[in-house]
Amino acid sequence: MKYRQLGSTELSVSEVSFGTWAIGGSWGKKDDSESLRALDRAMEAGVNFFDTADVYGDGHSEQLLAKATKGKEDSIHIATKFCRAGDIHDPSIYSEASVRAYCEQSLKRLERERIDLYQIHCPPIAILRDGSVFEVLDKLRAEGKIREYGVSVETVEEGLLCLQYPGVKALQVIYNLFRQKPEQELFPQAHARGVGILVRLPLASGLLTGKFSETAKFDADDHRTYNRNGESFNVGETFAGLPFEKGVSLSRSLHWIAEGRGNMTRASLRWILDNPNITCVIPGFKNTAQVEDNLGALEVPSFTDAERQRIEQFYKREVHEHIRGAY
């Protein structure tokens, strides 16, 4: 395992880390015993950073992380998020009383005294412009409730706005072969300001595994069914904002990236890790086999300049125009 510094913080995190949305809920059937085995396998391999949120299974993924990391609180870092358990457009959700309550509830579920990275969970840009929530987070950090804080954003504009606040030490961004816009302006500016980048949905909800056909079906409680067109939250959170059938077709055009790299999963993650402005990728998982596959990205060859140019041109010519939602 290799580790990268999270921006200008003292946190050093595994370059392949993991997100826990899938083991909390909203990705179809789940098995807690298998989830715990998968978490153990990740930690055995040197993974020292996990991302979660209070709304993943209504706190269930936080509780699973508490079990998995018991006694390892000093060596295993946890990032969690807040605000989406309420009305994200209501300013009172970001008041000191509200944020404190969210923080205390997460600390209780995580069975920890401090959250390593506390993130605002995709708030409206008006909240970011107002900025008062960052004053609350500064207080929580001064009190030792949180170590660092950051923001999970949907758009480049939101990310650039967050960089204006000196306390923001991390941005969580959707970035993958199908969604390349953040690398142009946001990533270099974040790097220059000492702000770490966590890449979520690096496999575009599974499209970039290359395993789906146009007729694939997902469970009713899987966001790949109920948010396919942005019915419940930003459409970019599902299949990178691409119409599913178009995404499947585009993934076939990228099968070549797996040559010499095992499979598309490992190649897709490797492409992200090749970007020096990235701190880590946080793919999801539901079992140990998926953990192993994601970790395999550490062993495969980097992309050549010619390959990267081919991918960039493919994105500009074939992909970009089909992305829906705020970006």
The 10s digit of each residue's pLDDT in 207-242 is 999 999 999 999 998 999 999 999 999 999 999 999
Mean pLDDT, the chain, whole residue set: 96
- State which amino acid sits at residue 320: H
- Say which residue the tokens 């070549």 belong to: 256
**Euclidean distance between CA atoms 30 and 53, whole angstroms:** 17
- How far apart CA 311 and CA 102 sit, in angstroms, is 41
Under the banding of pLDDT at 50, 70 and 90, the label for residue 29 is: low
Question: What is the rounded average pLDDT of the residues 75-80?
Answer: 98
Cα(79)–Cα(106) distance, integer angstroms: 10
Nearest 5 degrees, angle CA 271-CA 56-CA 223?
70
Residue 115: the pLDDT is 98
Q: How many CB atoms lie within 10 A of CB 326?
A: 15
The dihedral over CA atoms of 63, 64, 67, 72, expressed in degrees to the nearest 10, equals -100
When pLDDT is cut at 50, 70 and 90, the band that residue 271 belongs to is very high
Record the pTM: 0.96
Q: How many alpha carbons lie under 13 Å from residue 112 in its C-beta half-sphere?
A: 32
- The rounded distance, in Å, linking the Cα atoms of 269 and 300 is 10
The secondary structure element, H or E, covering residue 162 is: helix 156-162
pLDDT the model gives residue 27: 55
Beta pairing class for 77-82 and 196-200: unpaired
Q: Is 256 helix (H, G, I), strand (E, B) or coil?
A: helix
Strands 3-5, 12-14: pairing is antiparallel
54-65: average pLDDT: 95
CB neighbour list of residue 101: distance below 8 Å, 6 or more residues apart? none
What pLDDT digit, counting tens, does each position of 105-142 carry?
A: 999 999 999 999 999 999 999 999 999 999 999 999 99
d(CA 217, CA 199): 26
Which among 152, 272, 301 is positioned nearest to 208, based on CA atoms?
A: 272
